Amino acid sequence: MAQSGKYNPLLWLVALAIINGAWYGVADGEAKHEINNQEHSTEDRTIEISSVFGLDKEITATFSVQFFTVSSNSGNASWKIIDENGQVIANWQGIVGQEQGWEGKLNPGSYVVNTTMDVGILTEQNLYIKPFDNLRIEGHILLSIGLITLAFLEPIVKKQVAKIIPKQYPQTPEMKKNPFKSNDVGMPEDDEFHDDDDPWRSPIIN
């Protein structure tokens, strides 16, 4: 038991590192919203950015775009991201081959991606969002506090459980059996008749 208690703090530190590492991976994950592809393109595409845990907090976003010419070697194209109030969040206009994407933050809400292209041009457009990126620090703090609290409460909980279990399930003393004690049942030499049990006694006549 002493050895187990000695290594218990080290195990909690390992657990703290593991849980924070797992959260780092989750917070760095991203979700993909397909806006346009080469087979299906539309001029206006509406997307919804949902809030995380009901919080009205900005969400990290990356808009990737690429244009392709089919019938000519050059052409013009443009794109812009407009919020639900009609405000332009980001935009680009220029020659195919020089297009640029965008990185920034978007508030939860509805957005429209407007795309214009000359005839014979196709496009690939995707919006990548990281829902938990802006909650990265809060997540590390909450998980660490929760794990540390659990580590301090563990001994207390174990003591309380140890007190409750004997009351609910009282242990009855077990009869100790002597493995070397002989069992005389069924031994012929011990099946002796008593005087009162003489098999040759005279019959009783009424």
Q: Note the pLDDT tens digit of each residue in 79-112.
A: 999 999 999 999 999 999 999 999 999 999 999 9
| pLDDT surpasses 80 at 204 | no
pTM confidence score: 0.62
Tell me what pLDDT residue 144 has: 81
CATH code: domain 30-131 is 2.60.120.1540
Over 60: is that where the pLDDT of 7 sits? no
* Predicted confidence (pLDDT) per residue in 63-82, tens digit: 999 999 987 778 999 999 99
pLDDT tens across 120-146, in order?
Answer: 899 999 999 998 887 777 777 888 888
Write down the domain spans for the chain: 1-29+135-158, 30-131
Q: Which of 72, 49, 64 is nearest to 124 (CA)?
A: 64
pLDDT at 82: 96
